[in-house]
Structure 1
Amino acid sequence: MTPSGQGRYDAVVVGGGHNGLVAAAYLARAGWSVLVLERRERVGGAAVSEQVFPGVDVRLSAYSYLVSLLPDRIVADLGLELTLADRAVASYTAVSGGPGLLVERDEGPATAASFRALTGSDAELAGWRRFYGRLATLAEDLAPTLTEPLLSPGELAGRLRDPQLWLDLASRPLADVVADELASDVVRGVALTDGLIGTFADLHTADSPAGRCFIYHVVGNGTGRWRVPVGGMGAVTGAMAAAARGAGAELVTRATVTALEPRADGATVHWTDDDGTERAVDAGHVVVGAAPAVLDELTGASPRPSADGAQLKVNMVLARLPRLRSGVDPATAFAGTFHVDEAAGQLDAAYAQAAAGRLPDVIPFEVYCHSLTDPSVLGPAERVAGYQTLTLFGLHTPAALFRDDPVGTRREAVRRVVAQLDAHLAEPLLDCLAHDAGGELCLQAASPLDVEASLAMPGGHIFHGDLAWPVAAMPEQVGTWGVATAHPRVVAASSGGTVRGGAVSGLGGYAAARSLLDRS
């Protein structure tokens, strides 16, 4: 028996992450009967808020943490009730022996002075303005195409005012494109990190995953701005779930899908419920929000190769923000993206060591303090006490490095990043951490293997695999939504399974729903 007792659904959605919820909401609003099956105890996938530390009333965005790619169109179409707040600072880069590099959200005198102090002239700032001015134009032109059927490369070029930049990013090494405008090792690193979030790639190779990752990190909503979801990431998927339920979709949690049997007229979805009871439900169509490798497993196909994830995630709650050796106000430095050891040369060295099978001696990473922008994630007592959240995201730490000794390698990686951050602090980071109800430090670390175990993401890859260029790769894809699978009645919705995805965007779910609705 199905949850509602009906014999067949128009669509069954496998996975209640942001893409599955968006697809369910669109289909249900169109009058389809929709069932969402989610393995975990709640929907949201990687975009959830959790009280991670016992006795500490702080809601952390446990996995994903910022929003840029979620189109305003999806928010408006689904009537999503959510608030995305701009951060006061775009980024601050710590530099040993100096004041560091401050980039304001909206450029003012402090940004210019910071570039001048770092490089000794105004030339680097001029290059930064040229490069990011061109990227802003590209973002304005490219973002609207993400919610349209796929264009051919020629059609897309015709929509762009600066097609040469697109061509350069698609055909040349990202390191070379950035070096055309930026000379400083530190400044180039700030730009290059957008090509490495969750992506293990050589910045000096043409058509590497770095270029694709970079595109998705700078075009969001036509501005490229990364904003803080007020209430935490759970507020985003909570709004999506409310939209799906409000439209009539059924959301069932603790439901583990075990197999899919595609047929010419639909599919049978096999799943087990919370007490282990085996169930089956028929569907006219299936939307798969899980990774492509998971779809292969469910249909009995040989799993296709999939890239591993490459991130170290450390969640923390602080009793106070640490003071900086540079003297910069920590409330300013941590308000945006705080870069540590991410100069271009350091990124290259870390990649080389990780590619050789070694945990990098110096792990490039960045830190975010969401509570400076959104104090609502703090409980009343914690807010009065001055608590803050801190999220650390390490680069060039692929899953393979953790497989032989998962716990020991993760512990060593955390030790290294804490020591690296301490090198820029006037007081030890651990002295600033809050303690939970059991007296333990409020620090939680996750390697790609931990992400895999928790979220069923193969290799812990936060994008379900390397991203694709947001354009038709083959003539037969032109005019489609880029969600086709080997089975006509099964469509993909995940970041790695669709042509356009990545981050908390809902783009995969939107494309899956539009593909099915266009057929009906």
Structure 2
Amino acid sequence: MPGRGVRKARTLPRMKEYDVVIVGGGHNGLVAAAYLAGAGKRVLVLERLEATGGAAVSKRAFTGVDARLSRYSYLVSLLPRKIVDELGLRFAVRRRRISSYTPQGDRGLLVDAGDEARTREQFVRLTGSEREFEAWRRFYAMTGQVARRVFPTLTEPLPTRAELERRVDDRAAWEALFERPLGETVEEVFADDTVRGVVLTDALIGTFTHAHDPSLRQNRCFLYHVIGGGTGDWDVPIGGMGAFTDALADAARAAGAEIVTGAEVTGIATDGAVAEVAYGDGHTVGARDVLVNASPHALAALLGEPSGPKPEGAQLKVNMLLRRLPRLRDAAVDPREAFAGTFHIAEGYGQLQRAYEQAAAGAVPDAPPSEIYCHSLTDPSILSPELAAQGVHTLTLFGLHAPARLFAADPTGVKERLLAATLAQLDAVLAEPIADCLAVDAQGRPCLEAKSPLDLEREVGLPGGHIFHRDLAWPYAPEGASGGGAEGDSAPGGDVTRATGRWGVGTGHANVFLCGAGAVRGGGVSGVPGHNAAMAVLEKTR
């Protein structure tokens, strides 16, 4: 993806011609490359970093420690099996039986996806009655039905709003998810603050907003989090996220795509019929079509067009390696179960609102909300046999309500304060400090690293640290829209992102397509924008 500070790219003949040039070798760019090369197109992928994968990579993050962490993105939900099968990927995911654990003092709520009776008991243990469990079951039966009907449309031509509503075929569900602020539904359906918070967190991942935001950003985020795979399950990539992108790179090369790393793209010129792509130190290649696996904001800059305000990410990502899992204050729950699903911290409904209000006012929240999961409990293959035998585990923490604006004046100081406050909230539900459980690297330093939105922008090119490249869009086009544009699409990049076309990937230029998270139906590790951009090119050139 476009950026600065990379070495000179490997030399290619000046103005060599390709059918398709793909800017950025992240997972979506590699999906597109594999499809297009497999269809006989001459494809070149230009990646500014020294390896492919973008934010979907595995790294040995700690010196001298043989553990490959999914350093940035870490779970798979929206990846269609269709893409894995059609590209012949040697890649698998594993489902987590434990959906979530939410501690409350010396008790907590464990949601066991494999045992409904046990989950019912957990709700009763927390709330004192079965009311919240029955509400939970009805609510997620509704979202599950929506998931089964909406998810298959993500790799089809973009439906209109009316077409998607007909597909859902449930007026109450459509109104709850697509028309009313999610907070209204959550407050009507659930009474318990903890349960309300568990539901709402899926509306806030990577999205700085609140339950009653009239723009419905929270609804769009929630929708993408509950439709993945047609089930809403968040699965663990076996071998880490890098196993997925390595398999994609292998598939693209096997199909005939050429991949050049260390090649920073610096500009795109197009007349709508042919394009020139400049990269590295004065190199230029020609292409009939250009796919951009970068944000709409970055695309506008590459085209020399107004880019508008930069999107804003709002998360703190923390990677940890532990000598052992910590003990919980809730002695009735095994840490191996609590950390196997999503471990919610300071994510009660009221706590989420207070943290949002404080961050919106420019302050580090007193009780930063976050959630944790342990990859190695589901997939120990990311650890060396020696580490696994010692009981070592990974922890991935994703903090909410940490907008980039908080870090602007003092990036290091604010990150340190936010990290300390976040870990203090974790310690409050543990029977021992998390610091006592951290492994150390070859230099004796604790195995912990934290990434702010500014770090994510610098390291992997996410604009403002926004993990979805911009606010998520509804997975439909409005009735009567010219070119199938997304409703309310006034995202950074202006006209660059309006004419989304039949597949939701078009731009204001007939031969330039978005194939990254900023496309309609983008966001998350899905491969969907890469698939759809490839389909748009193939449809155009038939």
Instruction: Give the Cα–Cα distance (whole angstroms) in 2 for the partners of residues 264 and 150 of structure 1.
Output: 22
Partner residue, 1:357:
362
How many residues of Structure 1 are paired with residues of Structure 2 in the alignment? 514
CA-to-aligned-CA distance 1:338-373 (integer Å, 9 cap, x gap): 001101100100000011111111101000100000
After superposition, residues 385-404 of structure 1 pair within 5 angstroms as 385-404=390-409
Runs of 4+ in 1 over 6 A off after TM superposition: none
**Selected match of 1:63 from 56, 72, 77:** 72
Alignment partners' CA distance in 2, 1:224 and 1:88? 13
1:37-52 map, 5 Å = 37-52=46-61
Identity over aligned pairs, percent: 54
Cα offset for 1:169?
1.6
**Separation of aligned partners in 2, 1:381 and 1:341:** 34
Aligned to 1:13: 22
1:516 match: 537
Of 14, 28, 32, the residue aligned with 2:41 is 32
Report the counterpart of residue 374 of structure 2 in structure 1. Answer: 369
Q: How does 1:280-359 map to 2 (within 5 A)?
A: 280-327=284-331, 328-359=333-364
Whether the 8 Å contact between 2:15 and 2:286 is mirrored in structure 1 is no
- Alignment match, 2:215: 207
Aligned: 1:493 with 2:515: yes
Whole-angstrom distance in 2 between the partners of 1:90 and 1:103: 5
Structure-1-length-normalised TM-score: 0.97
Q: What TM-score results when the alignment is normalised by the length of structure 2?
A: 0.93
Distance (Å, rounded) in 2 between the aligned partners of 1:107 and 1:146: 30
Q: How does 1:111-126 map to 2 (within 5 A)?
A: 111-126=119-134
Q: Distance in 2 between matches of 1:160 and 1:383?
A: 45
- Structure 1 position 5, deviation (Å): 8.0
CA distance in 2, matches of 1:53, 1:123: 46
Query: 1:459 matched to which residue of 2?
Result: 464
For the residue of structure 2 that corresponds to 1:100, the secondary structure is strand
Structure 2 gaps, min length 5: 1-9, 485-500
1:91 aligned residue (77, 97, 100): 100
AA aligned opposite 1:87: R
Residue of structure 2 equivalent to 1:109: 117
Structure 1, residues 33-81: CA drift from partner, whole Å, max 9, x if none? 0000001111101000000000110000000000010011111111111
Q: Which moved more, 1:200-209 or 1:45-54?
A: 200-209
The correspondence for 2:82, drawn from 73, 87, 90, is 73
Q: Are 1:253 and 2:281 an aligned pair?
A: no
RMSD: 1.3
1:369-396 deviations in whole A, cap 9, x for unaligned?
Answer: 0000000000121111110000100000
Is the CA contact (8 Å cut-off) linking 1:22 and 1:510 kept in structure 2? yes
| Mapped partners of 2:177, 2:214: distance in 1 | 9
Partner letter of residue 246 of structure 2? G
Q: Determine the C-alpha separation between the residues in 2 that align with 1:346 and 1:71.
A: 34
Q: What amino acid is aligned across from residue 443 of structure 1 in structure 2? A: L
Which residue in 1 is equivalent to 2:527? 506
CA drift of 1:180 comes to 2.3
User: Closer, same or farther in 2 for the Cα pair 1:79/1:513, shift >3 Å?
Assistant: same
| Native 8 Å contact 1:137 1:161 kept in 2 | no
Task: Please name the residue that 2:383 is paired with.
Answer: 378
2:503 is matched with: 481
> 1: distance between equivalents of 2:225 and 2:537?
28
Cα distance in structure 1, aligned partners of 2:174 and 2:86: 29
Q: What is the SS of the residue equivalent to 2:450?
A: strand
Question: Match for 2:534: what amino acid?
Answer: A
Structure 1: gaps of 5 or more residues: none
Q: Which amino acid aligns with 2:305?
A: A
Letter in 1 for 2:516: S
Q: CA deviation at 1:306?
A: 3.8
Worse-superposed segment, 280-289 or 167-176: 167-176
- 1:147-191 CA-to-partner distances (Å, cap 9, x unmatched) read 111111111111113243123222211111222211111001101
In the alignment, which residue of structure 2 is the partner of 1:417? 422
Q: Deviations over 1:243-275 (max 9, x none)?
A: 111100011111000011112321110000xxx
| Cα distance in 1 between the residues matched to 2:27 and 2:118 | 37
SS at match of 1:473: coil
Where 1:219 maps in the other structure, the secondary structure is: helix
Letter in 2 for 1:199: T
- Amino acid of the structure 1 residue aligned with 2:509: H
The one of 180, 204, 222 equivalent to 2:230 is 222
Counterpart of 2:245 in 1: which secondary structure? helix
Letter of the structure 2 residue corresponding to residue 297 of structure 1: A
Map of 1:171-250 to 2, 5 A cutoff? 171-250=179-258
Q: Distance in 2 between matches of 1:449 and 1:325?
A: 34
